[in-house]
Structure 1
């Protein structure tokens, strides 16, 4: 499994692209939920983790104490490999889309991404869409756009571009084509979801907060 960082700009159409990936059955954004789900009580991975790490990693309600488990695997590489061996077969997604609005601004998560994607539209389209969507004056819309890294700069930084300047059907076809590329890629590498999920969730929430 590998991570695909998805970004864009305000009113670029990123949310619509995310929905296409969701409709395709892709795991989007909530990698943390995936990692949590496979280690819930009753799942095979849960029992194997308890056997391997002992009951001291459990909370009073029987769920795994991720902080306690994390402190073990960060200190002991052999335990980390063991956890990966247990959880990876239970996570059945080829790749995970992480919707991070400030992916290129903060740069914090870039090193974890195997692929980066930006949903782009030309400046005039972005401006008019934002004005119409949010009921803003041109000056207000321009101020909000100026507060972000320009889409043209993000376009230069991303590996994949989804151009949403025109008809939505064209963008949808681009998204379907990208999905096929990612599914057929040779980048099926183990993803340390158990280690990264909490961190990813924090970065994502932080990114969303800054855009409000």
Structure 2
């Protein structure tokens, strides 16, 4: 069973790719973001580490972590952000590795697709067989972010400038899906070809 890492800039359309891999091929999809949210829930080890580090002021009335409050706390403080990432990211990767192991043992899915914004920076190549880059030109990404999330041009700018440049994505990944087109069939055909050519299936 192969493990495919999916990455790309904000607004590139990674969700479209994951949805297709799940619907068409019944792949197990693991999203690092969702795993992070799960590990921050009360009762999880990461939850206690975060509360211990940042204090009970980040908690809601029901004792869950208010991610907005936490975000504001670390947004302008590089040291706090590094600390938060050091608590969350390794735990997320460890959890994903254990889920992959479970899927290997059960042998019920054709492959696993792992999506993470920091797939390259957090060295997911150690647990993935291949990394795939979902590319979309900047105009397409801006349009999508405005339509789906209501982002202003300035907000899109601020996120994009903190992400890896296109050439680093291309150097680090074994396959590129160009998802700039609004004709989704074009994207699906690239995925089908990539899965066959790269022996994922």
Q: What residue is the counterpart of 1:15 in the other structure?
A: 15
Is this contact kept in 1: 2:22–2:28, CA < 8 A? yes
Larger radius of gyration between Structure 1 and Structure 2 = 1
Q: CA deviation at 1:89?
A: 5.8
Match in the other structure for 1:53: none
Matches within 5 A, 1:1-212: 1-23=1-23, 24-29=25-30, 88=104, 90-107=106-123, 109-166=124-181, 167-182=183-198, 185=199
Instruction: State the Cα distance separating 1:88 from its structure 2 match.
Output: 4.9
Find the residue that maps to 1:105 and give its secondary structure: coil
Mind listing any 5+ residue stretches in structure 1 that lack a counterpart? 31-83, 189-212
C-alpha distance in 1 between matches for 2:104 and 2:136: 37
- Where 2:120 maps in the other structure, the secondary structure is helix
- Where in structure 2 are there 5+ consecutive unaligned residues? 32-100
Name the CA distance, whole Å, in 1 between partners of 2:165 and 2:3.
24
Stretches (4+) displaced over 3 A: 87-90
TM-score by length of 2: 0.57
Q: Deviations over 1:119-141 (max 9, x none)?
A: 11112222232223222221121
Work out the number of aligned pairs and report it.
Answer: 132
Distance 2:160 2:104 in 1: 40
